Structure 1
Amino acid sequence: KEKPNSAQIHFNLGIIYTKVNNLKEAEVHFRKAKECNPNYLQAELALALLNEINKDLPEAIKHYQQALKIDPLNLNVYHRLAQTYYLDQRIDDAIHQYEFILKLNPYDIDAYLELSYIYLNEEQVDQCIKILEQAKAHRSNWRITQQGRPLTVQEIKQLRNAKEAQVYLILGLAYTQNKQNQKALEACQEAIQLQPENGAAYFYLGAIYEQTGRRQKAYETLKRSVELDDENPDALNYLGYIYAEDGINLDEAQELINKAIDLDPDNG
């Protein structure tokens, strides 16, 4: 009341209303914050996020674009814009956005990973492999960050290993789609070397063993995947069905399949 035109006060009120899930009133105050200060970056980003929550992706995109006019070198905003383009099915715009991020910073590992996911999902497998090979070439210079606080040397190492494991895991999926099974297998093994507790890597490796006729290896590897992540319905279902197909461990097979269906009713 004492400072009705204070951008900061309106922004803080918007945050409070957001926390109590009164999004309509939150939007009112974020807009008032912008009226007080048209270059208020955090208010612009808050409005973008509210529109994402409300599933109004085109409006969210406008706010992210406006945020970049305020802060043209903000990599985090470029990432949010690229992700929102993709969610809005603007695939080419998302690709161009990630390519632009990599021009700004050729060491942005998250941009490489997100772009490779898009290429893989769009069945542009050769492009996916190409971008991941570029990522690997820049490994020593990867931008490893985490919002909120500085990272210790050990945390940076762990994050780097996790990112590199993701690179190899997506490579494995891409090689599988290209029917390059040996390369896919080696990529998944690399992912496991980097991140031994990665249940997804064991799952994909087990699937490759099964598809190439190495049944015993498939049992062992899929079993390890389920031990590491017993809430992955795909791994549970896969192991259950190959047990059932081979007529072994039938009680366990039934339990695995039932659990997969409980986690994901469409699975099974």
Structure 2
Amino acid sequence: MLNKLREQTVFKGNWLLSLLVSVGVWQCSVPVMGQMLLPYTPQLNSEQLEQQGLEVAEEAAQLIRFQQHDLALSRAKLAVQLAPNKYQPWFILGTLYIIKQELEPGVEALEKALVLEPEEVGIKFTLGNAYFQQGKYQQAATALEEGLEIKADVPSAQFDLGNAYFKLGRMAEAIAVYQKAVAQQEEFWPAVNNIGLIKYEQGNISSAIEHWQKALEIDEEQAEPILALGVALYIQGQKEEGLKLGEAALELDSNYGEIQHLKDNLWGEKLIKDTQTFFTTPQMQGILAQLEKDS
């Protein structure tokens, strides 16, 4: 599980959108201009332009909440032109680019926002997620660590930090921060799931199974822990039960029949190898062939 804030990360529901709720700093109003019989160009001072820019940024944030991303992007671009020295328009613009998977301009905008407001945790968390998607795992970890030093009780950011540690090979630290996420939010099944992924790579299959079972106790309709559990049980000799779970997982989400999708979701080499063996069974071959036919 990578950041199913992308389903979640990404992002997972999308936790970036929830961060925008905390950027409620637009308390200013734009002066009302008098009606004129003839067209004219009003002379606005810099303070008025900034006020307008912040209001346009607020419009963009509202549009994001309603999934109107293209409209929000045009508003955000205008907002940074009107208020280039305020962090909020850059933060919203960067977030929009990340949501649209345009990572390079997204990171550039977020870095500008961070220069303007170095202690804003939302920017640090969003940058951490964006760096991770770029494969810059150390930069991701640093940004997330800095944000969590300011605001420690954000499970989604703890989860992202755990993922960064995972990719850096810092497995003990990854488990510790996943556990913090679960302590903050007991139903945060992706963190429980990812502990299982680590345990499997460490050769502790029984512990991995326990964590995937716990993840399914939280949400029984999640394909990832169902498939992982199926593979583990199959490898341990419980073949019938394992195959049954594998079929159920792919019925829920056929993407998990693709090895690259599993790699993208942090499945390690050992689990990938065992999954490939699992997929070569006649029963799973039949299911995968049918899924390909239906696609």
Residue range with higher mean Cα deviation, 196-205 or 253-262: 253-262
Shift in CA distance, 47/230, structure 1 to aligned 2, threshold 3 Å = closer
**Which amino acid counterpart does residue 12 of structure 1 have in structure 2?**
V
Alignment of 1:104-253 (within 5 A): 104-136=150-182, 139=183, 142=184, 160-161=186-187, 163=188, 165-234=189-258, 242=278, 245=281, 247=282, 249=283, 253=285
Residues in 1 aligned to 2:217 and 2:103: alpha-carbon distance in whole angstroms: 42
* Partner residue of 1:90 out of 136, 147, 161: 136
Aligned-residue CA RMSD in angstroms? 3.8
* Partner residue of 1:254 out of 267, 282, 286: 286
How far residue 189 of structure 1 moved from its aligned partner, in angstroms, is 0.6
How far residue 55 of structure 1 moved from its aligned partner, in angstroms, is 4.2
Residues in 2 aligned to 1:50 and 1:166: alpha-carbon distance in whole angstroms: 24
How far residue 262 of structure 1 moved from its aligned partner, in angstroms, is 7.0
State whether structure 2 residue 56 is matched by structure 1 residue 12: yes
Shift in CA distance, 257/242, structure 1 to aligned 2, threshold 3 Å = farther
Contact 1:241-1:253 within 8 A present in 2 as well: no
Residues in 2 aligned to 1:188 and 1:54: alpha-carbon distance in whole angstroms: 30
How far residue 90 of structure 1 moved from its aligned partner, in angstroms, is 2.7
Contact 2:227-2:245 within 8 A present in 1 as well: yes
Residues in 2 aligned to 1:195 and 1:3: alpha-carbon distance in whole angstroms: 58
How far residue 20 of structure 1 moved from its aligned partner, in angstroms, is 5.5
SS in 2 for 1:232: helix
Identify the structure with bigger relative contact order (alpha carbons < 8 Å, sequence gap 6+). 2
**Which amino acid counterpart does residue 82 of structure 1 have in structure 2?**
G
Residues in 2 aligned to 1:72 and 1:96: alpha-carbon distance in whole angstroms: 14
How far residue 110 of structure 1 moved from its aligned partner, in angstroms, is 1.0
Superimposed CA distance per residue, residues 188-208 of structure 1 (whole angstroms, 9 cap, x where no aligned partner): 011111112222111111111
Residues in 1 aligned to 2:244 and 2:258: alpha-carbon distance in whole angstroms: 16
SS in 1 for 2:83: helix
Residues in 1 aligned to 2:197 and 2:224: alpha-carbon distance in whole angstroms: 11
How far residue 234 of structure 1 moved from its aligned partner, in angstroms, is 3.9
Residues in 2 aligned to 1:96 and 1:184: alpha-carbon distance in whole angstroms: 28
Residues in 1 aligned to 2:109 and 2:280: alpha-carbon distance in whole angstroms: 52
Superimposed CA distance per residue, residues 7-26 of structure 1 (whole angstroms, 9 cap, x where no aligned partner): 4545739959x736986x97
SS in 2 for 1:196: coil
Shift in CA distance, 188/51, structure 1 to aligned 2, threshold 3 Å = closer
Q: Normalized per residue, which structure has more helix?
A: 1
How far residue 174 of structure 1 moved from its aligned partner, in angstroms, is 0.5
How far residue 101 of structure 1 moved from its aligned partner, in angstroms, is 2.1
Residues in 1 aligned to 2:293 and 2:201: alpha-carbon distance in whole angstroms: 26
Q: Tell me what 1:67 maps to.
A: 113
How far residue 170 of structure 1 moved from its aligned partner, in angstroms, is 0.3
* Partner residue of 1:80 out of 126, 132, 135: 126
How far residue 32 of structure 1 moved from its aligned partner, in angstroms, is 2.4
**Which amino acid counterpart does residue 257 of structure 1 have in structure 2?**
A
How far residue 215 of structure 1 moved from its aligned partner, in angstroms, is 0.6
Contact 2:156-2:181 within 8 A present in 1 as well: no
* Unpaired segments ≥5 residues, structure 2: 1-40, 64-68, 263-273
Residues in 2 aligned to 1:261 and 1:227: alpha-carbon distance in whole angstroms: 14
Shift in CA distance, 116/26, structure 1 to aligned 2, threshold 3 Å = closer
SS in 2 for 1:100: helix
